[in-house]
Amino acid sequence: MIKLKSSNTLFVGDTHGDFDSTIIIVRKFLEANYDHIVFLGDYIDRGIKQIENINYVLALKLLHPQKVILLRGNHETPAANKNYGFYHQVVKELGELFYNLYSTLFSKLPNACLVNNKVLALHGGLAEGLQTIEQLENLPKDKINVTDPMLLQILWNDPGEGIHGFYPNMRGIGIMYFGEDVYDEFARNNGIKYMIRAHEVFPAGYYHYFGGKILSIFSARNYGIKIDAKVALHDTEDKLEVLSVK
């Protein structure tokens, strides 16, 4: 897990090979000179420019290593890549060796980010058995295939309105919805004010769960449907602003 001190942080949801949207977002980041930009994962699969998209954010990380944070999403895994396009595109254009290098790189990405000890950012959601920030810090790394149950749920789980505790998720075995009570307990015990996550598609590009306690953003503009893609800005006064990708 990455810990940041920041007065203005730009958060980016799923981009899924939408290279054009990523360019627009990065231009916003550079022109406004934000302290940090945190990508919440899912750079690849489904989109038409997956290789360009992931290479672009990797180059940005190389240019601004302290300001650019790249989190792991559920699509930065072989299980997703072989079903949703990245594996086949890389093997066709670059070869199997390059796909293996990408997989190794994905296994080294952080799984969460904590900003000013108050804002928790991750791709999916809270997991069964997760009680402390320290557990996030100790999640396994260098695992190309995600087999750890808690890490799986961090990457895959969704908030669920009207749910108490955890409830099986339609996404697959071992994946859950978590209720507002789960979030409230975790936030209270760890001093969390907001959670920002990605992982879900909304035509409006964002959704506020649990009366605004969790912000879910999606930053690709075309995903089978036209989406009003969004990013989020968090400032030093702990205010959240949702911005359009235009």
For residues 221-239, average pLDDT:
89
pLDDT tens-place string over residues 148-176: 999 999 999 999 999 999 999 999 999 99
Q: What are residue 168's DSSP bridge partners?
A: 176
How far is 231 from 11, CA to CA, in rounded Å? 6
Structure tokens at 74: 């559920």
pLDDT at res. 141: 86
pLDDT tens-place string over residues 178-192: 999 999 999 999 999
In this predicted structure, which of 102-106, 158-162, 222-226, 238-242 has the lowest mean pLDDT?
A: 222-226
Residue 197 lies in a domain: yes
Helix (H, G, I), strand (E, B) or coil at 166: strand
Residue 1 lies in a domain: no
pLDDT at res. 75: 98
Report the domain count for the chain.
Answer: 1
Known catalytic residues are 75
Percentage of residues in the chain with pLDDT exceeding 70?
100
The CATH code of the domain that includes 60 is 3.60.21.10
pLDDT at res. 27: 97
Q: Where does the pLDDT of residue 91 fall: very low under 50, low under 70, confident under 90, or very high at 90 and above?
A: very high
- Non-local (6+) Cβ contacts of 243 within 8 A are 28, 230, 231, 232, 233
pLDDT tens-place string over residues 51-68: 999 999 999 999 999 999
Q: Where does the pLDDT of residue 236 fall: very low under 50, low under 70, confident under 90, or very high at 90 and above?
A: confident
Residue 231 lies in a domain: yes
Tokens 């953003």 locate to 217
Do 124 and 197 form a contact (C-beta atoms < 8 A)? Answer: yes
pLDDT at res. 237: 83
pLDDT at res. 225: 82
Residue 128 lies in a domain: yes
Domain of residue 199, residue span? 6-244
pTM of the entire predicted model? 0.97
Do 120 and 192 form a contact (C-beta atoms < 8 A)? Answer: yes
pLDDT at res. 159: 98
Average pLDDT score, the chain: 96
Do 232 and 4 form a contact (C-beta atoms < 8 A)? Answer: no
Q: How many CB atoms lie within 10 A of CB 35?
A: 18
